[in-house]
Amino acid sequence: MGVAGKAVPQTAVRGPSWDGRFTVLILFLPPALLLFTLFVVLPIGEAAWYSGFNWNGFGRPTNWIGFDNYRFVLETRAFWLALRNNGLIIAVSLAIQLPLALTLALMLAERFRGAVALRMLFFMPYILAEIATGLIFSFVYDGDYGLVASIWRTFGAEPPHLLASTDTAMLAVLIVIVWKYFGFHMMLFIAALQSLDKSLIEAARIDGATRSQALRHVVIPLLYPTIRLSVFFAIIGSLQLFDLVMPLTRGGPADSSNTMVSFLYNNGISRMRVGYGSAIGVILFVICVTFAFTYKRWFMRDE
């Protein structure tokens, strides 16, 4: 039916009808809501339910053990190591990654030859899959063939196997995390810088502020919303880190580089200990959601 087709006068008077809206509501909303409920919300609820059972995933769960799974998780030293590692990842993200990203953004938001190319280059690691990144760095760190090893050898020392030692594995993972994600935050900052009102900065300069004063007292405060957002992404991302750990260390050696999710995978999924794994998942969920709501409430109220 062409829009210009039949000119029925009544329709023109009646205007948009409830019927039309109703059709849209029953056709357009259900697919998204169903998929979301079935594959996101229900499974999270089920994780809470399964966490009360000692269950291997086959048949129906029958062996109800209450909160014992949570007790088992909290009594495992490896879980606390994983939690500590997630804390380390957050610390490195906030203390090294974001300042680095902000510094680079301030440098690269200006126009000069090569700025766009550098932006693309720094963003490239973010586009790569975590698995590929992890494998590339397990080569870099390889004690026989890797780049780090050959640097060691030029100094005449026996190269270490960084990923195979409990002292260094987590440190090695942290370096890869900075390599992979700083470009993402840099891009956020560049986008924010480019949408800033330049006249405010010019006004400050005319009033006699030096470059660094203008930066500290005008530019950075104007960036606060983006910085808060970046911090939010960095922390939520750090809590859920997994793919990068698998090709590098699988959480080892001796659980020294596990994150909460790799701990969940190694103990819950690969051994199909559904109740135990679900308890870890629920703990992760509670941490993420509590953090998100607290943060939003305290730091992002105005947005």
Partner 1 sequence: MSNAEIARTPFDPAVLFKAAFLAVVAVFVLVPLLATLLGGFKSLGELRVNPFGLPRHWEWQNYADILFSGRYWQLLRNSLIISTLTVILTLITASMAAFTFAHVKFYGSSMLLSYLTLGLLFPAATAVLPLFIKVRDLGLLDTYFGVALPQVAFSLAMSVLLLRRFFRDIPHELLEAALVDGCSYVKFFRYVTLPLSRPILATVGTITFVNSWNAYLLPLVMLNTDALYPWPLGIMIYQGEYSSEWHLILAFITLTILPTIILFLLAQKHIVAGLTAGAVKG
Binders in 51-110 for partner 1, by CB under 8 A = 57, 100, 103-104, 107-108
Contact region for partner 1 (CB under 8 A) — 79-87, 164-172, 216-224, 256-264? Answer: 256-264
Q: Which residues contact 279 (CB under 8 A, 6 or more apart)?
A: 51, 69, 70, 72, 73
Which tokens belong to 9?
Answer: 């006068």
Contact region for partner 1 (CB under 8 A) — 73-81, 143-151, 163-171, 216-224? Answer: 143-151
* 3-state SS class at 232: helix
Owner of token pair 């560049």: 190
d(CA 67, CA 70): 5
Among 78, 94, 96, 118, binds partner 1 (CB under 8 A): 118
Binding to partner 1 (CB under 8 A) within 24-53 occurs at 24-25, 27-29, 31-33, 35-36, 38-40, 42-44, 46-47, 50
Asked if residue 197 binds partner 1 (CB under 8 A), the reply is: no
Among 96, 200, 240, 253, binds partner 1 (CB under 8 A): 240
Among 147, 171, 203, 220, binds partner 1 (CB under 8 A): 147
* 3-state SS class at 92: helix
Among 70, 80, 152, 285, binds partner 1 (CB under 8 A): 285
Nearer to partner 1, 147 or 254 (CB): 147
| Shortest spacing between CB 256 and partner 1, in angstroms | 20
Q: Which residues contact 258 (CB under 8 A, 6 or more apart)?
A: 78, 81, 82, 85, 245, 251, 252, 266
Binding to partner 1 (CB under 8 A) within 208-227 occurs at 208, 210-211, 225-226
Paired with 53 in beta bridges are 64
d(CA 60, CA 46): 13
Number of residues that bind partner 1 (CB under 8 A): 102
Among 142, 181, 258, 267, binds partner 1 (CB under 8 A): 142
| Shortest spacing between CB 66 and partner 1, in angstroms | 19
CB 284 within 8 A of CB 239: yes
Q: Which amino acid is at 214?
A: A
